[in-house]
Structure 1
Amino acid sequence: MAFGRLERARAPSPMSDINMTPLIDVMLVLLVIFIITAPLMSSSLRLDLPKTEGGRASEAPKFLSLAIDAQGQLFVAEQSVTLDQLREQAERAAGRDPATEVQLRADQSVPYGRVAELIGLLQQAGLSRIGFITAGGSAASAPK
């Protein structure tokens, strides 16, 4: 010990390794976010949006108009039909043109199972293009 000098410990040398803990924490948070959002992204709604060009009268698509009233009665082009008659008409329409579209109008009180049954019948007949026709307006303003 020299006159009045105190021994001082050496200052710690700088650490040359990267601290991995914050990096791992961030990566785990990102992994959790991707695990949660991946199923949501795969079930997105795909729409076949209309083209901007106007169609000519000769380009009008062929369609079959199908309606179900509140009592479950079926109507094709405003004519009452049975399930067997509907099957025959759908098979004939699919035989003429498989791209024929079915425009389905169902009363709000018709059970979902009945609509699903009709969709299955139409697909078995060879018609896979089915459009649901609804009334205009928002669902929030509809009476409950």
Structure 2
Amino acid sequence: MAMSVGSDGGDDKPMSDINTTPLVDVMLVLLIIFLIAVPVVVQTVELQLPKVAFEPTTTKPENVSLSITTNADGNCAVFWGMTPVSSDELLDRAVTKLESDIKKAGGVENLTPEDLPEVHIRGDINTPYRCIGGTIYTMQRAGFPRVGFISEPEPGSNSTRL
């Protein structure tokens, strides 16, 4: 790297040219750092995400149908069928329902997870997550292993199975 300290004529005027060599050196070092750092930061886990499509629901009589919305005052409103229930009533009814289904089948040893009733949740689009999440937690706490959501397909979408 060369450095100019003045002219040969003996003028002691300051130099008005900018030495860009240090700037280029710094930029090249930063470029190399970013080229090395970016692949490390942008690591992803290989996932196979599910394909979303409308699938008709097979409703069995022993399944539990819950509807969740919010009241005018902002509180969560859960309906078992058409009956409004509180969170304590929901837990009690769920445990009672599951116990009666197990007794009807002749005991736990006669059941597989596919034979147990499912919970189908219909959640209003404007319902906060805390209402739906609390209902899911309550139903899983009661012992229901399968909790699903009922949704309405977009108008005009086809209803083929994937």
Shorter-chain TM-score category? 0.5 to 0.7
Specify the SS of the correspondent of 2:46: helix
Higher relative contact order (CA 8 A, sep 6+): 2
Aligned residues: 95
Tell me the equivalent position of 1:69.
Answer: 69
How big is each residue's C-alpha offset from its partner over 1:72-127, in whole Å with a ceiling of 9 and x where there is no partner?
A: 21110111111111111111122124711011011111111221111111111001
Is the contact between residue 75 and residue 81 of structure 1 (CA under 8 Å) also seen in structure 2?
Answer: yes
What is the TM-score of this pair, normalised by structure 1?
0.54
Superposed, which structure 2 residues align to 1:44-55 within 5 Å?
Answer: 44-45=49-50
Instruction: Flag as ranges the 4+ runs of structure 1 deviating above 4 A.
Output: none
CA-atom RMSD in angstroms: 3.1
Tell me the equivalent position of 1:80.
Answer: 84
Specify the SS of the correspondent of 1:134: coil
Deviates more, 1:64-73 or 1:122-131: 64-73
Is 1:135 the counterpart of 2:152? The answer is yes
Paired residue type of 2:153: G
Alignment gaps of 5+ in structure 1: 1-31, 139-144
Tell me the equivalent position of 1:23.
Answer: none
Alignment gaps of 5+ in structure 2: 1-38, 103-112, 156-162
Specify the SS of the correspondent of 2:126: coil
Q: Distance in 2 between matches of 1:132 and 1:44?
A: 18
Specify the SS of the correspondent of 2:151: coil
Is the contact between residue 78 and residue 84 of structure 2 (CA under 8 Å) also seen in structure 1?
Answer: yes
